């Protein structure tokens, strides 16, 4: 039985709900923070066995990371090849044949800590952003459940996993929100091949690519 766990998660997410339910059965004291709807306030004196972060853009400060007795772990919705934000966009634009999810230790940099586990799946030529993300979140969920169950059985399993995956390294490149916003802009000089890739890598129900003429943005329908 875990003594105390901190779970940082997205508010409206069915997989986060399931993980929270799973943790509740395994933990004496479970603290849950919905990072996208309220400011994160955690007592400095509180110590946790583990801190788990699932589908949250909240960046942990070093002080909070150090409040984990064994480890602070993030479940990143992308393989080590893609760090930061917009990973699925760049994977589709670059015609990547695989995508996946990465569990890793959290340090003071974004998607940078030692890798614990990587799970991959194949990308079909018919896959768009929404289809790839749907597969990713499902894979991410099963990855989290497996890892939590493993740590619940024996904390030493974390050391074994880190040792088994020590050769897997993060890509040196990382993209931020500003870069992603610029990525959605389509140049009027874009050739047909790149245009096709850019549309596949940017169109969703919520977000659309655009062209800009004399400071006016025209979005794709």
Write out pLDDT tens, residues 83-129: 999 999 999 999 999 999 999 999 989 999 999 999 999 999 999 99
- Domain shared by 145 and 71, yes or no: yes
In a domain, 178, yes or no: no
- Domain shared by 199 and 105, yes or no: no
- Domain shared by 27 and 109, yes or no: yes
SS3 62: helix
Distance, CA of 107 to CA of 97 (rounded, Å): 29
Alpha helices in the chain (DSSP H): 14-26, 62-65, 87-93, 129-153, 157-164, 177-183, 192-200
- Domain shared by 51 and 140, yes or no: yes
Distance, CA of 156 to CA of 34 (rounded, Å): 29
- Domain shared by 19 and 59, yes or no: yes
Count up the domains in the chain and report the number. Answer: 2
In a domain, 83, yes or no: yes
- Domain shared by 12 and 112, yes or no: yes
pLDDT < 50 positions in the chain: none
- Domain shared by 154 and 188, yes or no: no
Range of the domain at 206: 184-219
- Domain shared by 35 and 123, yes or no: yes
- CB neighbours (10 Å) of residue 167? 6
pLDDT, position 38: 63
User: Which has the closest alpha carbon to 136: 46, 219, 18, 54?
Assistant: 54
Is the distance from CB of 35 to CB of 10 less than 8 angstroms? yes
Look up the pTM and report it: 0.93
The angle formed by the CA atoms of residues 188, 189 and 193, to the nearest 5 degrees, is 105
pLDDT, position 35: 81
Residue 86: exposure state from Cβ atoms within 10 A (0-12, 13-18, ≥19): buried
């Amino acid at each position: 039985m875990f003594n105390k766990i901190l779970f940082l998660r997205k508010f409206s997410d069915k997989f986060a709900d399931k993980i929270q339910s799973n943790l509740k059965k395994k933990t004496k004291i479970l603290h849950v923070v919905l990072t996208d709807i309220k400011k994160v306030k955690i007592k400095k004196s509180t110590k946790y066995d583990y801190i788990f972060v699932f589908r949250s853009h909240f960046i942990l400060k070093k002080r909070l990371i150090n409040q984990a007795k064994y480890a602070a772990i993030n479940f990143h919705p992308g393989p080590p090849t893609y760090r930061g934000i917009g990973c699925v966009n760049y994977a589709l634009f670059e015609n990547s044949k695989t995508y996946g999810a990465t569990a890793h230790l959290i340090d003071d940099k974004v998607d940078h800590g030692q890798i614990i586990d990587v799970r991959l799946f194949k990308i079909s030529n018919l896959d768009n952003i929404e289809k790839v993300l749907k597969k990713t979140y499902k894979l991410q969920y099963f990855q989290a459940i497996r890892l939590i169950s493993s740590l619940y059985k024996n904390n030493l399993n974390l050391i074994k996993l880190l040792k088994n995956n020590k050769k897997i390294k993060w890509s040196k490149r990382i993209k931020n929100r500003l870069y992603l916003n610029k990525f959605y802009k389509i140049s009027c000089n874009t050739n047909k091949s790149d245009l096709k890739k850019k549309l596949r890598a940017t169109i969703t129900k919520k977000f659309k690519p655009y062209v800009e003429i004399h400071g006016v943005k025209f979005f794709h329908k």
